Amino acid sequence: MANSRLGELTQWSIKRTKKNLAVVAVCLILIIFSCSLLPDSSPSSIKHTDPLTLHSDYVDLTLLRNAKHKGAFCLDGSLPGYHFKKGFGSGSNNWLLHIEGGGWCDTIASCSLRKATALGSSDHMERQVLFSGILSNDPMQNPDFYTWNKVKIRYCDGASFSGHPESEFHNGTNLFFRGQLIWEALMEELLSLGLSNAKQALLSGCSAGGLATMIHCDDFGELLPKDTTVKCLADASFFLDEKDVSGMLTMRSFYQNVVQLQGLAKSLPKDCVAKMKSSECLFPKEIIKSIKTPFFLVNPAYDSWQILNVLAPAASDPHGNWLRCKNNIHNCNPSEMVILQGFRNSLLNALSDFEKNKEWGMFINSCFIHCQTWLTETWHGPNSPKIDNKSIAESVGDWYFDRETVKRIDCPFPCNPSCFNQNLA
């Protein structure tokens, strides 16, 4: 079973396990992968500071008004939600959408557990969230997009907004696989709020939300006027189809289960699905081949989530030999670093075609982290990660507004002292 090889405990999971190991252990076998990273969880090595968050706003949750009519429900049948901050001044007709991340669920059991969290139900979502990083209204934090209309899209379907109701099980599980319908209902509502008049638009997302951005990027552009400047950005979303440290294709098996359970094939690139397994078409390397809209990738070469869950999942390392390394890259021994450098090389090789596209941009730093655009400290600040003395925000702005071609690829770890590196221990 694929899930026997998947996932890694986060700090939250570990604390719960200590409290009630006997109960949690059985559940973890089923859900460890999809719940290994809570959405928008601040890296333990990064702490918000008052000066940087002073001007950021808390924004209320809005439930989709047209969701019930469209049959667009979260996993538990609740209404999907989003947070909307209206633009002002020069940004009044510009829109930035950001899809939050949070993994996937690939079995009835893991989706059933997920529906009791904010990742599967709006009943459990915070009623307000802080808009920071790429969503900030502070020009010091977000110099190019602070005046724009900004939307944070909450993620509650467990399949990157790509599931279809035809795959639902009507056997008493009460699960709704409606990701595609949520996306369509959300776009309809945002268009009615002014998105239809957008002069400039940027669709972005982190982790599983970034994967959703890849899947829906061209669809998003087709909804807007022909003269709208439309571009897309994915943060920490270039998931690799790589063997783990025991030689197993863990991620491929997991994606196969997600695609089959929630019926994702209809949302994936048609030319890809026609010639290969639909589960392989969920990998970004295949998705980007069909994207026509200008695209930007922000990705750490040593993505902490992928090292935890793709390269060295717990089941591939039963004796815990990788535990110290995958919790803190500074603890990796020379032989482990050789494997990590190989993982970095696999990422760069997978991006070779992406790099050749003149309209596309990238910021690949040598940090051990996951998701950098939504955090002020990593998006733009005096101590944020930089390549060629440019922050992620400056690089994205240079690319979006065609100020320069942006193909920034960092040197290998540990060359960049500006990195925020997570400590997951």
Cα(216)–Cα(99) distance, integer angstroms: 11
The one-letter amino acid code at 108 reads I
Cα(307)–Cα(329) distance, integer angstroms: 10
For 228, residues 6+ apart whose C-beta sits below 8 A from its C-beta are 198, 199, 200, 201, 221
> Residue 397: which H helix or E strand, with range?
helix 392-400
Cα(386)–Cα(409) distance, integer angstroms: 11
Contacts by 278-281, CB closer than 8 A, 24 or more apart: 279/252, 279/255, 280/241, 280/252, 280/255
CB 201 within 8 A of CB 195: yes
Cα(290)–Cα(272) distance, integer angstroms: 8
Which active-site residues does the annotation give?
207, 303, 370
For 269, residues 6+ apart whose C-beta sits below 8 A from its C-beta are 281, 286, 287, 289, 290
The pair of structure tokens assigned to 17 is 């396990």
The pair of structure tokens assigned to 416 is 């960049």
Return the exposure string of 211-244: e unless at least 16 CB atoms fall within 10 Å of the residue's CB, then b.
bbbbbbbbebbebbeeebbbbbbbbbbbbbbbbb
Omega prior to 414 cis, within 30 of 0: yes
**Nearest one of 208, 219, 239 to 99, comparing CA atoms:** 208
Cα(104)–Cα(209) distance, integer angstroms: 10
Cα(240)–Cα(302) distance, integer angstroms: 12
The pair of structure tokens assigned to 174 is 């009460």
Burial of 157 (0-12, 13-18, 19+ CB in 10 A): buried
